[in-house]
Amino acid sequence: MSTSVQTNSDQAFQRCLSPDCLATYDLGEALTACKQCGELLDVVYDWEHLPIPDTLSQFQSKWSRRNQPLCHSGVWRFHELLPFAPPEKVVTLGEGQTLLHASDGVAQYIGLNRGGLFLQYEGMNPSGSFKDNGMSAAFTHAHTIGAKRAACASTGNTSASLALYCGVSKLMQAVIFIGSGKISYGKLSQALDYGALTIQIAGDFDDAMHRVQQVTEQLGIYLVNSVNPFRLEGQKTIMYRVLEGLDWQTPDWIVVPGGNLGNSSAFGKAFLELHQLGLIDRIPRLAVINAAGADTFYELVENRGLKWNQGRPDRKIIEQYYRELDETKQRASTIASAIEINRPVNLSKCLRAIDVCQGVVREVTDQQILDAKSQVGANGLGCEPASAASVAGTKLLRAEGVISPSDRVVCILTGHQLKDPTATVAYHTSDQNEFDRVLASRGVLQARYANQAIAVANNLDEIVSAIQANN
Ligand code: F0G
């Protein structure tokens, strides 16, 4: 298998998602939407003229060459499946060294058989979330075309990731847009510490996303939000590593939190391509889980019947819903701040993913999210609230009978436990005021699985008896 991917412009290009447009653009253009019709863009490859392995298992041979950065990276190890950049332009920080972890404890919580539940732990990435998979790819594209500044709007993880890639590589300046009071301290601290120019907007993520698109257009800054099609190329590799962790067997379900819907869209594209290339014979089902306080995708798909419809989704359904959100002044609100988004930018791509993967969409409450999160934590890995939506959603689908006890299910844990310590500490606190301030105000009324600290006097006998009483 070739390790050096050289792509020329007719072997990879950008293409409009709409079957009625299909306008194409050169790889050298920095675009986030079709210039003709405004629809999202895909990165498309002429696979027939590119070196593709005969089997996925051939990628494993690269493990023996981990002293080479492109083999070490969990993204670029799969370069042949995202061949849009020459190897010498690739910017990698060793992202994607992540873990597929079988968890019988979480399986039991959900109601799955032993051996049936896997946690894909993306918290192990350099900036602590799955975003680094996509950032390495978008950053590589930005570098390829000579960008000197890159921007994003963020609920925290995208900005942490961009700030990290800029800080380490010194190839670009990071400009990040965040909503006011909307981002957890763990993530904010990363952006500030890594030196990003941080613009805090008096508004929420949806406002910040709208503004960053205007500003990047006006100032010619490279935009790395997941409307950038190269971001999603990097995020496809999360699925390659899941397959690798399962010895190249397709699981029954992939369950992923849905915010801006970039990850779920990337997963759909990954499976579509692998299937078209004959590298897998079965596509897993996909479940996208919204927080109930930010449930646009759930509402549109499950309640209003929005469908991919061969690339022609009924836009009137979307426009009508957004009008209602505006009229009733509804803003996204959830303890899972990473997915506190009402206008997901990858909506149409995610409809395609749902179509390709016979997907379903569900919403879970903040209570369900935090209970599930505590179970992930109690079983050792720990994650931030948004990530636990995948576990809470799996439990719900299991209770509904959509997922059966014998299914093999992979939940994507998108971000590290330390990203949002406030929610975790409030869940486990014995201080009722703190609990009420952070959680009860969001409808979380109980901490069923709280592991409260035991307060004791600074006295040896009391400390010893507190330990003995709790053994
Ligand atoms: N989980 C975490 C930890 C996230 O940070 C995000 C998105 C998601 C899930 C949702 O992923 O957008 O691909 O559906 N965070 C973005 C950010 C929006 O700005 O960091 P998605």
Check if 157 has its Cβ closer than 6 Å to any atom of ligand 1.
yes
Check if 263 has its Cβ closer than 6 Å to any atom of ligand 1.
yes
Looking from the CA of 45 toward its CB, the CA atoms found within 13 Å total: 26
pLDDT digits (tens, 9 = 90+) for 24-38: 999 999 999 999 999
Percent pLDDT > 90 in the chain is 93
- What is the pLDDT at residue 470? 87
Query: Average pLDDT for residues 417-424, to the nearest whole number?
Result: 94
Cα–Cα distance for residue pair 75/290, rounded to 1 Å: 26
Question: How many degrees, rounded to 5, is the angle at CA 459 between CA 455 and CA 461?
Answer: 100
Residue closest via CA to ligand 1's atom 12 equals 260
- What is the pLDDT at residue 3? 43
Residue closest via CA to ligand 1's atom 15 equals 338
Query: Average pLDDT for residues 250-265, to the nearest whole number?
Result: 98
Atom of ligand 1 nearest to the CA of 419: 3
CA of 305 to the centre of ligand 1 (A): 24
- What is the pLDDT at residue 199? 96
Structure tokens of 101? 């972890």
Return the best residue to mutate from 155, 298, 341 for the ligand 1 pocket (most ligand atoms within 8 A of CB): 155
Which of the four pLDDT bands, split at 50, 70 and 90, describes residue 61? Answer: confident
User: Position 399: which residue type?
Assistant: A
| Contacting residues for 19 by C-beta, under 8 A, at least 6 apart | 310, 311, 312
DSSP-derived 3-state class of residue 129: strand
Return the best residue to mutate from 125, 129, 342, 343 for the ligand 1 pocket (most ligand atoms within 8 A of CB): 129
- Of 190, 79, 240, whose CA–CA distance to 415 is shortest? 190
Which of the four pLDDT bands, split at 50, 70 and 90, describes residue 431? Answer: very high
Check if 158 has its Cβ closer than 6 Å to any atom of ligand 1.
yes
- What is the pLDDT at residue 1? 42
- The answer to whether 466 and 458 are in contact (CB under 8 A) is no
CA of 107 to the centre of ligand 1 (A): 24
- What is the pLDDT at residue 64? 87
Check if 390 has its Cβ closer than 6 Å to any atom of ligand 1.
no
Percent pLDDT > 70 in the chain is 98
CA of 263 to the centre of ligand 1 (A): 8
- What is the pLDDT at residue 315? 97
Check if 339 has its Cβ closer than 6 Å to any atom of ligand 1.
yes
Looking from the CA of 69 toward its CB, the CA atoms found within 13 Å total: 10
CA of 430 to the centre of ligand 1 (A): 30
Check if 186 has its Cβ closer than 6 Å to any atom of ligand 1.
no
Structure tokens of 448? 């069923």
Which of the four pLDDT bands, split at 50, 70 and 90, describes residue 78? Answer: very high
Res 2 pLDDT > 80:
no
CA of 94 to the centre of ligand 1 (A): 20
- What is the pLDDT at residue 4? 55
- What is the pLDDT at residue 460? 97
- What is the pLDDT at residue 39? 97
Query: What's 89's DSSP letter?
Result: G
Residue closest via CA to ligand 1's atom 11 equals 259
Return the best residue to mutate from 119, 206, 335, 339 for the ligand 1 pocket (most ligand atoms within 8 A of CB): 339
Check if 374 has its Cβ closer than 6 Å to any atom of ligand 1.
no
- The answer to whether 169 and 195 are in contact (CB under 8 A) is no
Beta bridge partners of 152: 176
b/e for 254-286, b at 16 or more Cβ within 10 A?
bbbbbbbbbbbbbbbbbbbbbeeeebbeebbbb
Check if 385 has its Cβ closer than 6 Å to any atom of ligand 1.
no
- What is the pLDDT at residue 63? 85
CA of 251 to the centre of ligand 1 (A): 23
CA of 455 to the centre of ligand 1 (A): 36
pLDDT digits (tens, 9 = 90+) for 172-199: 999 999 998 888 999 999 999 999 999 9
Mean pLDDT of the chain: 95
Query: Average pLDDT for residues 77-88, to the nearest whole number?
Result: 96
Cα–Cα distance for residue pair 162/176, rounded to 1 Å: 8
CA of 8 to the centre of ligand 1 (A): 32
Query: Average pLDDT for residues 259-285, to the nearest whole number?
Result: 97
Cα–Cα distance for residue pair 175/223, rounded to 1 Å: 9
Check if 258 has its Cβ closer than 6 Å to any atom of ligand 1.
yes
Check if 415 has its Cβ closer than 6 Å to any atom of ligand 1.
yes
pLDDT digits (tens, 9 = 90+) for 119-162: 999 999 999 999 999 999 999 999 999 999 999 999 999 999 99
Return the best residue to mutate from 176, 209, 263, 295 for the ligand 1 pocket (most ligand atoms within 8 A of CB): 263
Res 257 pLDDT > 50:
yes
Atom of ligand 1 nearest to the CA of 350: 14
What are the CA-CA distances from residue 221 to residues 40, 218, 428 (Å)? 19, 8, 43
Cα–Cα distance for residue pair 463/128, rounded to 1 Å: 36
User: Position 371: which residue type?
Assistant: D
pLDDT digits (tens, 9 = 90+) for 10-60: 799 999 999 999 999 999 999 999 999 999 999 999 999 999 999 999 998
- What is the pLDDT at residue 182? 80
Cα four-point dihedral sign 327, 329, 335, 336: positive
CA of 387 to the centre of ligand 1 (A): 9
